[in-house]
Amino acid sequence: MRRLFILLLVILVLPGCARTFKTSSEHATPIMTPPVAPIHLHSVTLNDDTRVDDYYWLREKGADEVTTYLEAENAYTAAFMEPTEALQKTFYEEMLGRIQETDQSAPYRKGDFEYYHRTEEGKQYRIYSRRDPGKAETEEVLLDMNELAENRPFLGLGVYEVSPDGGYLAFSLDETGFRDYTLQIKELESGEVLPERIEKVKSFAWASDSQTFFYTVDDDTKRSYRVLRHRLGDGGDDPLLYQEDDERFRVAVWRSRSGKYVFRGSFSHTTSEIGFLGADDPTGAWRLVAERKQDHEYDVAHHDDEFLIRTNDNGRNFRIVRTPVATPGPSSWEEVVAHRDDVMVEGLDVFEDFYVLSEREQGLPYIRADHFGGESHRVAMDEPVYSIYPGANAEFSTDEFRFRYESLTTPDSVFDYDVATRERTLVKQVEVLGGYDPANYQSERLWATAKDGTKVPISVVYRNGTPRDGSAPMLLAGYGSYGYPYPTGFSHTRVSLLDRGVTYAIAHIRGGGELGKPWHDQGRMKHKENTFTDFIAVAEHLIANRYTSSERLAIMGGSAGGLLMGAVTNMRPDLFAVVVSLVPFVDVLNTMLDDTLPLTVGEHEEWGDPNEREAYFRMKGYCPYTNIGAHDYPTMLVRTSLNDSQVMYWEPAKYVAKLRAHKTDENPLLFRINMEAGHGGASGRYDYLKETAFDYAFVLTQLGVAD
């Protein structure tokens, strides 16, 4: 094991990617060596186990030593990547050239107006607007994010809710990327922003009078824990309506599509509890739909004098029941759609005359529509791999359901579907400029066999003519946590890879939700290792079937997908040539032991509580940071943001520092930190493209794919 004790005092970027390292002799020696973080011994003992954490000090955000190290890493990365700047520019121009820079979303009806957002060439952000139906000349700009973003390096939009009478807009902004949203109210007729400013707002719902609203606020760990009520113009403290004291749970408020009720929900990773209130009686008493019961999840929609409920009380994949509003408890539940072992009910949308289920079967999503009392049917899809999900459906009284469809080869498409006639109308398809033709590309659904014999789905896309002899480079992505299915949608940026002969694949591993709730269960808690071994099995399957080779295989994952990257490279560093790890959750054990951090306590139901001995040693067994060893690692790029509130910047910083001190190879290891963004990276659309161009340039140059 090698330990390096060099303290970088100053690093400067010189032409030609050289570095200068100042020594006491006053001479500057040009070198191309990476920064080395100093070691400050820190240890902790738990469950009779002592762990040494040499880089614990990197948690001190804003400390001079920390800032110096982060800036040194950025400088080293910039110098290393300087020879790729022309390629980055080429990627950026290609990707930008496929975008209709001045464009408009498909308008949707809500009340007396059509709402939409649009973009203008050269501007980073959306402009949110409305108009009289079908009359473009009546446009009213509600929120111009470009004006709000002036002199701000980051801007994110949270709440965006127009009042029922159309007179007010509630909106919230995050100016740092740390998910601290401030709520404001704009009077739309005058354009005046009212004096109300409420900090740390996460969710919002209007009452029927358009003067009263409900909102939730975060505690110091960014857990949304309180529900309050406010009336426009009122000063003083807003009345506290509910406080969630169980730290596993977060609260949210929302309004039913019918407009009749406001809901308040408490949600953990495994359990739900929902209360409701008449929207026209904002000071009235709240009632519960069903009291919380461990491992019972449900959600609620309103129809006439009933609630329709999606519930997993009778099976992990959920069923649909109805219950009277007057007596909503489980004793009154009547089954509408039975639980099915092979079909996951992911969502429920209810309208005046029909309802729609979002389903998932054999890894593929479907939409099922049903007129009340009528025959249900699925909306047919043709491609082997695709994504389909509800669009903007703001109106309760309608004959049509709006959905969005896209695939690995078909751009994002908005359809209005007439539930009675079963006819669909294409409202808008995102235009891909530059001569893109989907017929030039091929997508496939494959199945790999996991370590325990489980079949794991894989989505693959490539340009026609890409060789199947093991020589093609590949980018393989994965996530596998929280029950989230990895999306199989279109990417206009990905075309730049496909056109250079790169095959793109997605590993739909356990821990995600591709095959229903049991698929999630088999990749969390004590079964978490399945997530990693599934990914390895997918990579081996693709190599065995000559889609690529280990020397030509790059892998990519972000957040919990970054945990995946760290775990599989510790387990099988020989299997991958290049690794891109974005905002990676790699210091699992230390983070899950720190209940002062955002997400920690609630996520004990996803990962386990390491204060418990069994969970501690299980998590220690796969934690990427803990298991870094003295052996060769693939070429790696690790990217994060200073203001990330979901995976703190110090996790990837510590990870890179420890890798540098332990790995035995000379493969490049780059660490890039955006000093002005959060978990999602840059907020402006042009800045986001530049980050993507950077990643692609790194991957392709390291795989030896030249223009």
Is residue 679 annotated as a catalytic residue, yes or no? yes
Would you say 286 and 275 are in contact if contact means Cβ atoms under 8 Å apart?
Answer: yes
Query: Can you list the alpha helix ranges (DSSP code H) found in 112-232?
Result: 145-148
C-alpha 414/C-alpha 117 separation (Å) is 14
Return the bridge partners of 639, or none. 582, 672
Element (H, E) at 361: strand 354-361
Helix axes of 650-662 and 64-81: crossing angle, nearest 10 degrees: 70
CA distance 705 to 699: 9
d(CA 564, CA 586): 9
Question: Which of 134, 177, 138, 135 has the alpha carbon at shortest distance from 155?
Answer: 177
- Owner of token pair 């009212």: 194
Give the torsion through C-alpha atoms of 523, 525, 530, 532, to 10 deg: 100
| Cα–Cα distance measured from residue 107 to residue 93, given in angstroms and rounded to the nearest whole number | 29
43: number of Cβ within 10 Å? 10
- Read off the tokens for 53: 């954490």
* Spatial contact of 657 and 37, defined as CB atoms under 8 Å apart: yes
224, 407, 459, 559: the active-site residue: 559
Which residues have C-beta within 8 Å of that of residue 240, sequence separation ≥ 6?
Answer: 226, 227, 228
Q: How far apart are CA 569 and CA 579, in angstroms?
A: 8
What residues contact residue 187 under an 8 Å CB cut-off, 6+ apart? 167, 168, 193, 194
- Give me 180's structure tokens: 């601290």
- Closest Cα partner for 552 from 507, 479, 505, 502? 502
Distance CA 692, CA 104 (A): 23
Distance CA 544, CA 535 (A): 14
Instruction: Compute φ and ψ for 170, nearest 5 degrees.
Output: -95, 130
Letter for the amino acid at 407? S
Paired sense of beta strands 364-371 and 377-378, if any? antiparallel
Angle between helices 529-544 and 560-571 (to 10 degrees): 70
- Residues 6+ positions from 48 with CB-CB distance below 8 Å: none
Find out whether 212 and 231 touch, Cβ atoms under 8 Å.
yes
Helix (H) or strand (E) run with residue 252 in it: strand 250-255
> Whole-angstrom Cα distance, residue 131 to residue 109?
10
Q: Which of 644, 645, 683, 695 is catalytic?
A: 644
Whether residue 691 contacts residue 681, with contact meaning beta carbons closer than 8 Å, is answered with: yes
Of residues 117, 508, 541, 679, which has the active-site annotation?
A: 679
Active site residue 644: yes
CA geometry: angle 252, 255, 260, nearest 5 deg: 140
Handedness of CA 76, 77, 82, 84 (dihedral sign): positive
Alpha-carbon distance of 703 to 553, in angstroms, equals 8
What is the spatial distance between Cα 343 and Cα 280, in angstroms, rounded to a whole number? 38
One DSSP character per residue, 295-308 reads T--EEEEEETTEEE
The angle formed by the CA atoms of residues 689, 694 and 695, to the nearest 5 degrees, is 100
Tokens, residue 437: 């033709």
* Count of CB atoms situated within 10 Å of the CB of 366: 17
Residues with active-site annotation: 559, 644, 679
